[in-house]
């Protein structure tokens, strides 16, 4: 077994580097397996941002960095079982999701929707002088309703929406990350989007009557 590398330091340095690229992940993984654990840092840097988004979207909250660090460590320890030719990102995100569920379950709590949204989107930007505050407020309200609607979905429906749209995985990657057949991803995503649409439409109609 390879000696662990300081994953935490890589996470800290790569936190704002979204979607870093690895020229050939298979080559990097082969190098790690061959006894170059330092090569694993390339995978950490490339996938830290999306892993953090996944942890936050799944409810990790303040523990997101710890969850991701643990997920990278578990992925590192499991590279011997990683199937050659597979994509690393969906495989990693499946580990992140499992680790997040374990963390949330052990903490015995469910994070508020608004807190998860704030963590995922980052600090609210200052509104430029040229912007219409009413438009900005409307955007925030729309975002809040979306997160509330997501939170009201069944877990499998919420997960498929998060992976397809918030984490920007394609259908195949989503199937790999969630461990589902592609047909299941399609059907659950379709039902989830219909449910979201109805909830958001009802919320908009209900909000329209307030004055």
Query: How many domains are contained in the chain?
Result: 2
What's the pLDDT tens digit per position in 47-60? Answer: 999 999 999 888 88
Banded pLDDT at 68 (limits 50, 70, 90): very high
* 108 and 141 in a common domain: no
Task: Decide if 48 contacts 88 (C-beta within 8 A).
Answer: no
C-alpha 61 chain-centroid distance: 12
CATH number at residue 77: 1.10.1740.10
pLDDT category of residue 14 using cuts at 50, 70 and 90: very low
Domain assignment of residue 192, given as a range: 124-211
Least Cα distance to 165 among 140, 199, 189 occurs for: 189
Same domain, 99 and 137: no
Same domain assignment for residues 7 and 71: yes
- What are the distances in angstroms from CA 193 to CA 18, 44, 112, 188, 198? 26, 32, 22, 9, 9
Same domain, 111 and 130: no
Pairwise CA distance, residues 177 & 97, whole Å: 9
Its pTM surpasses 0.75 = no
Shared domain check, 91 and 29: yes
Q: Any idea what the Cα angle at residue 12 is, between residues 90 and 119, rounded to 5°?
A: 70
Tell whether the torsion through CA atoms of 27, 28, 31 and 32 is positive or negative: negative
Quick: pLDDT tens for 167-182: 889 999 999 999 999 9
pLDDT at 12: 43
């Amino acid at each position: 077994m390879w000696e662990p590398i300081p994953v935490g330091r890589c996470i800290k340095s790569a936190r704002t580097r979204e979607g870093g690229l690895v020229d050939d992940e298979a080559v990097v993984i082969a190098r790690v397996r061959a006894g170059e654990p330092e090569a694993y840092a390339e995978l950490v840097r490339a996938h830290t941002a999306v892993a953090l988004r996944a942890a936050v979207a799944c409810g990790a909250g303040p523990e997101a960095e710890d969850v991701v660090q643990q997920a990278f460590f578990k992925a590192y320890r499991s590279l011997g079982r990683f199937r050659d030719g597979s994509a690393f990102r969906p495989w990693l995100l499946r580990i992140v999701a499992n680790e997040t569920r374990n963390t949330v379950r052990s903490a015995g709590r469910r994070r508020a929707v608004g807190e998860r949204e704030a963590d995922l989107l980052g600090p609210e930007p200052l509104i430029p002088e040229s912007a219409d505050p009413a438009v900005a407020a409307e955007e925030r309200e729309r975002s809040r309703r979306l997160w509330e609607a997501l939170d009201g979905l069944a877990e499998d429906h919420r997960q498929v929406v998060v992976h397809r749209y918030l984490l920007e995985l394609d259908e195949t990657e989503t199937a790999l990350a969630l461990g589902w057949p592609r047909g299941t991803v399609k059907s659950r995503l379709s039902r989830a989007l219909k449910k979201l649409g109805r909830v958001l439409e009802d919320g908009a109609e209900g909000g329209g009557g307030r004055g």
